[in-house]
Structure 1
């Protein structure tokens, strides 16, 4: 039921204790409400509470089809643990791949910014550049090899590459036209020779 504060109680207990419930607010906002003293008059145990809350959060992600994130390593089994460096590296690699594609498809920094925003990043653009992903993890461009100056340099390189590719395409087109013209000339010459030969025979 809805309370006077505009939140409703989710039908689930936390930590296996009936005195601990989740209240759901607007959007994805949720409140954990707990009594220190249980209904049985005993003090609630807070042993491993962080672990239990992390486990509960993962279950809710599945049940409500929310974006799934990793629990802190200390709450995971050894075989499930992921090195912190790998967690960060995965985010960095994803960011780098998006930036690589953005630069190839853009002509200036503003287009790169728009591309990254469309992929869910918050972009801070000033004297430098920084990116914050959907999990609110922030990286400066320099941390992934894409400082603002690097992006501008790569954009110029891509522009020069596109110009070179266009020049090569135009040159290839001209060669094809020249070859086609020569082929037509050769055909006309052969037709004239054949015509002259046939006239000579008729005489």
Structure 2
């Protein structure tokens, strides 16, 4: 009788292994916040020599369900914290009311360019702060062609709604039911929620 019990106990780990392997569990890093973008020098109108400075940060301590620990930990894979945006010129472009700007000068003061498969959006990765608590970036934008512009998210971020975003600039171009519609690499993109974007003019 004892030998039979021992044989059953020996098989238990293998039974649990089969059960675990049959689960459809997909591990991931759980992000609990989004980048909130802040424009340091908010203006309705900029000159052709001005640089628009944008900064943001996000917590670096997250739960990684791919590890054995269930406690928040420092995430060192910087690509997890990648961000990006489109710079758009507003106008009437046949069923579109914006066009992607591909000749702006981008300055990476904090953070660095990220080369992805995307086309004309500005993609970058942040830097880890000295205390390891945050990933942050500071990006400068210079545009030398006069016109009306906006900056919209390419990923999961939005501009600080507590700050002025100059949305009145969009009024003459609001021909698509409060949507910003543009194309990039043959694909059509739509952005709504006008308060989540930043509008400005260049003289």
Q: TM-score range by the shorter chain?
A: under 0.3
Q: Which has the higher strand share?
A: 2
Q: Structure with the greater relative contact order (CA < 8 A, sep ≥ 6): 1 or 2? A: 2
Q: Which has the higher helix share?
A: 1
> What is the TM-score normalised by the length of structure 2?
0.25
